[in-house]
Amino acid sequence: MDEDDRPRAGRMRCGLAADLAREPLDAYSRDELEERLALLEAEAQRIRAHRDKSAAHRLAAEALFGAKPT
């Protein structure tokens, strides 16, 4: 992947995830890449679950207290 193709963190605090996106992958074996991919997919699933839990919590709070004005 060329450096221009790598994901960028934007304005969010992505910490180590942003660092991983900039890391060259040439030194990794195929097995190491598969292991890394599995770990990243598990982390993505953990993030999605937390996002969904947070959204449900916000909806419950809005139902109880009313929507926050924007």
What is the predicted pLDDT for the residue at 17?
A: 85
20 closest CA partner among 29, 33, 11: 33
CB 8 within 8 A of CB 21: yes
CA distance 57 to 54: 5
pLDDT digits 0-9 by tens, 3-23: 566 555 555 677 888 888 899
Q: Per-domain residue ranges for the chain? A: 3-65
The stretches in the chain having pLDDT less than 70 are 1-12, 70
What is the predicted pLDDT for the residue at 3?
A: 59
Indicate if the alpha-carbon torsion angle 44, 35, 23, 7 is positive or negative.
Answer: negative
CA distance 55 to 44: 16
What is the predicted pLDDT for the residue at 8?
A: 59
